[in-house]
């Protein structure tokens, strides 16, 4: 047994450790080469096992084995033509993980790294995350190994239409409702939803993250970043503190990062970094007002690189690195999975880090998570911290079903209430004396609802 597992399981019984090992060795055998999927499941299994040993009904019914075997995995070819007339081929996926508590729900990712392992980890996490919101949503994820970078709008459109030509068979307002993720924003949702309408011949909310003109919800594009900040603010408030006055590191510069920075500013904090896959910028004066608007235009309209921000505002740009070496109070990883390793986590802690809000999904490597937990800082894992995005997607579905459109204030108030509830659930299941283990709280809180529904259904 490696050092990582030893430290991660500190404080749980030898029986629980053995059970986790035996469960994980079966899972690894059944899903060879799927590192990200193993990592996500193992973290959950480690926190759930002591609870399941105390409540053997979940073990007897093999709930965890069933929850980690997706309901179905669809893989399909996506052929399209680039502007030069060349034929191009990509691989499309939809992982429908679990629909015990509602129709499948989860984003679509377009990125060259997309593979089965990454989408299975995301679909599994999504199942627990959606349960935490208390809205009726099952878990799914999908996407393609397609790289939108450098493609023209016409190429993106042709790809999205070809992708939807196949995906349409598997989605629907009461069946499976996809949304955006990395590489899939309002432009891509527009192209896909438009093509869905042509084929399905009915106007229903079969996708979320839609434009406001065709059934989208106000606050949806801000929801993941705003929700992440609301959650961190809740954690800090519980200890008599707040984001106000805190220096914050943000990674990424896409949808989640932009609105995390926006809300940090609203709450009186100072976001000093942003990044993309080429490097990061450090602006000690804070990315605010006109500078934030510049960043948004740069990434959403011009589709440029983060280095352009440093050039415009004469601040530091560090190529090929992530921002975790900068001294700060709070860290908001908002780019991608496994973007904080153990050494970086230790540097952050050495520099006086008080808390982490994971806007991205599983941004901390296992050993980094262990370091944060061992240091007993305020550590908000992704399935709790970034649940605001899917929560407002759920609210978009409700508005579509009612053929109503709620105001910005109404949606934002509901989002804040949902994040507060998720925080309370984490405290309920994760309190350890004065400190809260939010990883345990989120895993248990998300698991119980799905597991109880599965128990009620018998062997299905």
Whether the Cβ atoms of residue 153 and residue 185 lie closer than 8 Å to each other: no
The least CB distance from residue 342 to ligand NDP, in Å, is 18
Q: Which of 30, 1, 37 lies closest to 18, judged by CA?
A: 1
Per CB under 6 A, 178 contacts ligand NDP? no
Determine the Cα–Cα distance for residues 183 and 38; give it in Å rounded to an integer: 24
Per CB under 6 A, 99 contacts ligand NDP? no
Q: What is the number of the residue whose Cβ is closest to ligand NDP?
A: 254
Determine the Cα–Cα distance for residues 87 and 78; give it in Å rounded to an integer: 11
Q: Applying CB under 6 A, which part among 47-55, 167-175, 210-218, 355-363 lies near ligand NDP?
A: 355-363
> What track of x and - describes contact with ligand NDP for positions 145 through 174 (by CB under 6 A)?
------------------------------
Residue from 165, 336, 369, 397 in contact with ligand NDP (CB under 6 A): 336
Per CB under 6 A, 139 contacts ligand NDP? no
DSSP code per residue over 222-250: HHHHHHHHHHHHHHHHHTT--STT-EEEE
> What track of x and - describes contact with ligand NDP for positions 253 through 292 (by CB under 6 A)?
xxxxx------------------xx---------------
DSSP SS3 for 303: coil
Whether the Cβ atoms of residue 144 and residue 181 lie closer than 8 Å to each other: no
* 102 vs 225 by CB, closer to ligand NDP: 225
Determine the Cα–Cα distance for residues 346 and 405; give it in Å rounded to an integer: 46
Per CB under 6 A, 183 contacts ligand NDP? yes
Count of residues of this chain found to bind ligand NDP when the rule CB under 6 A is applied = 22
CA 367 to chain centre: 19
DSSP code per residue over 26-68: HHHHHSTT-HHHHHHHHHHHHHHHHHHHHSTHHHHTTHHHHHT
Determine the Cα–Cα distance for residues 167 and 397; give it in Å rounded to an integer: 19
Query: Which residues make Cβ contacts (< 8 Å) with residue 446, sequence separation at least 6?
Result: 127, 128, 129, 131, 132, 383
CA 349 to chain centre: 23
* 98 vs 165 by CB, closer to ligand NDP: 98
Per CB under 6 A, 359 contacts ligand NDP? yes
Cα four-point dihedral sign 148, 386, 256, 338? negative
Per CB under 6 A, 19 contacts ligand NDP? no
Residue from 181, 234, 344, 366 in contact with ligand NDP (CB under 6 A): 181
Q: Scan residues 386-425 and list those touching ligand NDP (CB under 6 A).
A: 386, 389
Determine the Cα–Cα distance for residues 301 and 165; give it in Å rounded to an integer: 27
* 254 vs 357 by CB, closer to ligand NDP: 254
Per CB under 6 A, 182 contacts ligand NDP? yes
Q: Exactly one of 120, 129, 141, 291 is catalytic; name it.
A: 141
* 169 vs 312 by CB, closer to ligand NDP: 312
Q: Applying CB under 6 A, which part among 36-44, 65-73, 84-92, 179-187 lies near ligand NDP?
A: 179-187
The least CB distance from residue 232 to ligand NDP, in Å, is 15
Per CB under 6 A, 252 contacts ligand NDP? yes
Whether the Cβ atoms of residue 69 and residue 62 lie closer than 8 Å to each other: no
Determine the Cα–Cα distance for residues 292 and 263; give it in Å rounded to an integer: 11
Whether the Cβ atoms of residue 271 and residue 250 lie closer than 8 Å to each other: yes
Residue from 144, 192, 264, 334 in contact with ligand NDP (CB under 6 A): 334
Per CB under 6 A, 340 contacts ligand NDP? no
Residue 141 falls in the annotated catalytic set: yes
Q: Applying CB under 6 A, which part among 241-249, 324-332, 333-341, 422-430 lies near ligand NDP?
A: 333-341
* 50 vs 138 by CB, closer to ligand NDP: 138
Q: Which of 141, 143, 168 lies closest to 92, judged by CA?
A: 143
Task: Give the DSSP H/E element, type plus range, for residue 378.
Answer: strand 378-380
* 92 vs 143 by CB, closer to ligand NDP: 143
Determine the Cα–Cα distance for residues 423 and 230; give it in Å rounded to an integer: 10
Q: Supply the residues annotated as catalytic.
A: 141
Which residues lie near ligand NDP (CB under 6 A)?
180-183, 185, 224, 252-257, 276-277, 334-336, 359-361, 386, 389
């Amino acid at each position: 047994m490696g050092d990582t597992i030893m430290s991660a399981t500190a404080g749980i019984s030898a029986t629980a450790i053995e059970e986790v090992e035996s469960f994980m060795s079966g899972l690894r055998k059944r899903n060879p080469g799927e590192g990200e999927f193993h990592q996500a499941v193992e973290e959950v299994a480690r926190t759930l096992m002591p609870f399941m040993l105390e409540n053997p009904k979940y073990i007897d019914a093999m709930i965890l084995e069933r929850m980690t075997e997706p309901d179905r995995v669809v893989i399909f070819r996506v052929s399209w033509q680039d502007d030069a007339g060349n034929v191009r081929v990509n691989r499309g996926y939809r992982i429908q993980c679990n629909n015990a508590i509602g129709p499948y729900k989860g984003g679509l990712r377009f990125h060259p790294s997309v593979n089965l392992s990454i989408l299975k980890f995301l679909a599994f996490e999504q199942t627990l995350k959606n349960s935490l919101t208390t809205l009726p949503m099952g878990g799914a994820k999908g996407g393609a190994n397609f790289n939108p970078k450098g493609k023209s709008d016409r190429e993106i459109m042709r790809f999205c239409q070809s992708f939807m030509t196949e995906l349409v068979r598997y989605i629907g307002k009461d069946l499976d409702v996809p949304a955006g993720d990395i590489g899939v924003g309002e432009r891509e949702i527009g192209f896909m939803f438009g093509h869905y309408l042509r084929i399905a011949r009915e106007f229903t909310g079969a996708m979320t993250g839609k434009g406001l003109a065709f059934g989208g919800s106000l606050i949806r594009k801000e929801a993941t970043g705003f929700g992440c900040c609301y959650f961190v603010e809740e954690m800090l408030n519980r200890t008599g503190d707040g984001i106000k006055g805190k220096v914050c590191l943000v990674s990424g510069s896409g949808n989640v990062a932009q609105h995390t920075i926006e809300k940090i500013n609203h709450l009186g904090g100072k976001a000093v970094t942003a990044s993309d896959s080429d490097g990061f910028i450090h602006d000690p004066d804070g990315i605010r007002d006109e500078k934030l608007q510049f960043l948004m235009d740069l990434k959403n309209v011009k589709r440029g690189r983060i280095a352009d921000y440093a050039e415009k505002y004469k601040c530091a740009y560090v190529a090929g690195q992530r921002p975790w070496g900068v001294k700060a109070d709070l860290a908001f990883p908002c780019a991608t999975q496994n973007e904080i390793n153990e050494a970086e986590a230790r540097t952050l802690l050495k520099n006086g880090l008080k808390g982490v809000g994971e806007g991205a999904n599983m941004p901390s490597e296992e050993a980094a998570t262990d370091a944060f937990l061992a240091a007993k800082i305020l550590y908000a894992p992704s399935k709790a911290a970034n649940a605001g995005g899917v929560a407002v997607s759920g609210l978009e579905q409700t508005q579509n079903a009612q053929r109503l459109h709620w105001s910005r204030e109404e949606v934002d108030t509901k989002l804040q209430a949902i994040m507060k509830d998720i925080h309370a659930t984490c405290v309920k299941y994760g309190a350890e004396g004065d400190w809260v283990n939010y990883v345990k709280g989120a895993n248990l809180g998300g698991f119980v609802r799905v597991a109880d529904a599965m128990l009620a259904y018998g062997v299905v």
